[in-house]
């Protein structure tokens, strides 16, 4: 069972009977003045519980707005610590929180925003073993995850338990949101029946994300959660909202429940499974690689370098990444310039390509193989794993 740590409630706040104190009537007066909310609606919010899976870019604005709105019980599930690269968009966490557990900084920040709500933290990775237990304790779930494993797990658990799942995702300048697993609506699997193969879809760490974009989408998720709790308006159930921040367009497309969906259609998914093998971001699946692209682990590469093997070590990341961290002896050819630089790569030498996590370099490796190179290796896990397994003085980001 998950470790759940609730914040102690101030003694003067009655909970969870839902009646509003004088202090709350003042605090929420701009809600109560809305006829669609009113005192009844504010009491509903106070009695409601929302679980936010992931205290990251999406979870930050969602949690801040739900706390400010007076949602009585807010669960934050995250097992990560605050990293300097988080601060560009994850507003739950301050510079001073770097290195701390995200659940700790989230609890402190939400407590400062609204001490009248109860914050529960779950410092554990959502898994097939604990997801049903955790999710069962909440009325509405906000999916603020950044990986397919947790997204499918959250979806399947919400469908099994009949919990509304407020979905959001962001990458680069684009975002999506919807409401899944409502009684008649589709679920995430209706849209994407199976997780994509590893490496096919880049992560935000690989492809980047404009910092305000999770702010936009996470705020939309909070809006949808509040509408579900209050039973007002038209939710995104059966619609997928597509946001393009560069064009600044918001459009929605219709989604239908797929009768063949294994989760909400045929209901063949009766219990949760872990998707580690399918979705591990650093996994390598040799069968899916071009036949002549070999993988080499950082430890094996370090051993070859130590032996003095002549290796052309090529970094295909961007120049700003090269400035942050690099592997000794490498040279930089950013992926975008790779095609034009092939003539500079001697075909008779062993070539090892690397990037941040091993996805971009695999593309470059396949490109070389297609052009007749036969001695090409991709560094599994990229410089990130090199730092973890070989040289911790190489900065991670
Ligand atoms: Zn479905």
Q: pLDDT tens digits for 32-76?
A: 999 999 999 999 999 999 999 999 999 999 999 999 999 999 999
Say yes or no to pLDDT of 283 above 50. Answer: no
The catalytic residue positions are 204, 355
pLDDT at 292: 66
Q: Tell how far the Cα of 196 is from the centroid of ligand 1, in angstroms.
A: 16
Q: Tell how far the Cα of 260 is from the centroid of ligand 1, in angstroms.
A: 8
The residue to which tokens 């992926």 are assigned: 335
Q: Tell how far the Cα of 191 is from the centroid of ligand 1, in angstroms.
A: 7
- CB within 8 Å of 317: residues ≥ 6 apart: 332, 334, 335, 355, 356, 360, 383
Rg over alpha carbons for the chain, rounded to the nearest Å, is 24
Q: Tell how far the Cα of 130 is from the centroid of ligand 1, in angstroms.
A: 21
Say yes or no to pLDDT of 129 above 50. Answer: yes
Q: Tell how far the Cα of 119 is from the centroid of ligand 1, in angstroms.
A: 31
Q: Tell how far the Cα of 258 is from the centroid of ligand 1, in angstroms.
A: 6
Q: How far apart are CA 28 and CA 200, in angstroms?
A: 46
pLDDT at 199: 60
Q: Distance between alpha carbon 73 and the CA centroid of its chain, in Å?
A: 22
Q: How far apart are CA 82 and CA 235, in angstroms?
A: 32
pLDDT at 7: 57
CB 385 within 8 A of CB 282: yes
The answer to whether the pTM exceeds 0.85 is no
pLDDT at 17: 62
Orientation angle between helical segments 298-307 and 382-389, nearest 10 degrees:
70
Q: How far apart are CA 167 and CA 155, in angstroms?
A: 9
Q: Tell how far the Cα of 193 is from the centroid of ligand 1, in angstroms.
A: 8
């Amino acid at each position: 069972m998950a470790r759940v740590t609730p914040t102690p409630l101030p003694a003067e706040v009655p909970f969870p009977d839902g009646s509003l104190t004088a202090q709350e009537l003042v605090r929420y007066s701009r809600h109560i003045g809305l006829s669609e909310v009113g005192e009844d609606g504010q009491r509903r919010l106070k009695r409601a519980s929302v679980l936010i899976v992931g205290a990251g870019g999406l979870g930050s604005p969602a949690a801040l707005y739900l706390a400010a709105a007076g949602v009585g019980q807010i669960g934050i599930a995250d097992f990560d610590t605050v990293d300097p690269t988080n601060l560009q968009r994850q507003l739950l966490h301050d510079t001073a929180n770097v290195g701390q557990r995200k659940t700790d900084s989230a609890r402190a920040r939400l407590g400062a925003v609204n001490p009248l709500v109860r914050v529960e933290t779950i410092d554990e990775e959502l898994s097939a073993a604990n997801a049903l237990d955790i999710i069962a304790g909440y009325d509405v779930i906000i999916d603020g995850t950044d990986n397919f494993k947790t997204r499918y797990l959250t979806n399947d658990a919400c469908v099994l338990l009949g919990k509304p799942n407020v979905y959001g995702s962001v990458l680069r300048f684009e975002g999506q949101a919807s409401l899944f697993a409502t009684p008649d609506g589709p679920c995430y699997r209706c849209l994407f029946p199976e997780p994509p193969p590893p490496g096919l879809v880049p992560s935000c760490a690989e492809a980047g994300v404009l910092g305000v974009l999770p702010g936009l989408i996470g705020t939309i998720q909070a809006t949808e959660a509040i509408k579900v709790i209050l039973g007002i308006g038209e939710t995104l159930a059966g619609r997928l909202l597509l946001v393009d921040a560069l064009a600044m367009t918001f459009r929605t497309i219709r989604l239908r429940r797929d009768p063949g969906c294994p989760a909400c259609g045929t209901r063949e998914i009766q219990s949760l499974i872990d998707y580690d093998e399918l979705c591990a971001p650093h996994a390598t699946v040799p069968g899916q690689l071009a036949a002549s692209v070999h993988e080499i682990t950082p430890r094996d590469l370090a051993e070859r370098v130590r032996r003095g093997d002549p290796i052309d070590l090529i970094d295909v990341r961007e120049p700003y990444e090269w400035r942050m961290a690099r592997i000794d002896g490498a040279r930089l050819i950013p992926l975008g310039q790779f095609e034009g630089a092939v003539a500079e790569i001697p075909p008779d030498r062993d070539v090892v390509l690397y990037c941040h996590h091993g996805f971009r370099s695999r593309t470059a490796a396949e490109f070389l193989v297609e052009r007749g190179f036969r001695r090409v290796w991709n560094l599994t896990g990229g410089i990130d794993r090199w730092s973890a397994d070989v040289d911790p003085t190489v900065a991670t980001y």
